[in-house]
């Protein structure tokens, strides 16, 4: 939806920034390599690949999280990232 409606393009155009979409076939290691080679600035990346990239020295930041089946944690000051359904022990 973000791509098809050009939401990022319209928002960043206000500041004179051009958005260029690159669709990479592959998994996290390929995206981490692109970050390391300064070929991408923003990517949709899974949790494990993000952790591995940081552990190997990539200077990355999480700016948004998308998940399904996130457990509801009533009364707790904790959360779990769930790319796939999982159980969390608090």
Q: How do the domains of the chain map onto residue ranges? A: 1-90
Rounded to a whole number, what is the distance in angstroms from the first to the last CA of the chain? 35
Model pTM score: 0.59
3 state DSSP class of 29 = helix
| Calpha distance 40→30 (Å, rounded) | 11
pLDDT in tens, the chain (90 residues): 788 899 889 999 999 999 888 888 877 888 899 889 988 888 888 888 888 898 999 888 888 777 666 565 555 544 444 444 444 343
| Calpha distance 8→23 (Å, rounded) | 15
């Amino acid at each position: 939806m973000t791509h098809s409606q050009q939401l990022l393009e319209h928002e960043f155009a206000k500041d004179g920034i051009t958005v260029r979409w690159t669709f990479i076939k592959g998994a996290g290691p390929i995206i981490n390599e692109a970050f390391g080679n300064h070929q991408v600035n923003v990517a949709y990346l899974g949790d494990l690949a993000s952790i591995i990239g940081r552990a190997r020295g990539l200077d990355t930041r999480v700016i948004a999280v998308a998940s399904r089946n996130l457990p509801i944690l009533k009364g707790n000051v904790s959360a779990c990232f769930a790319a796939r359904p999982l159980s969390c022990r608090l």
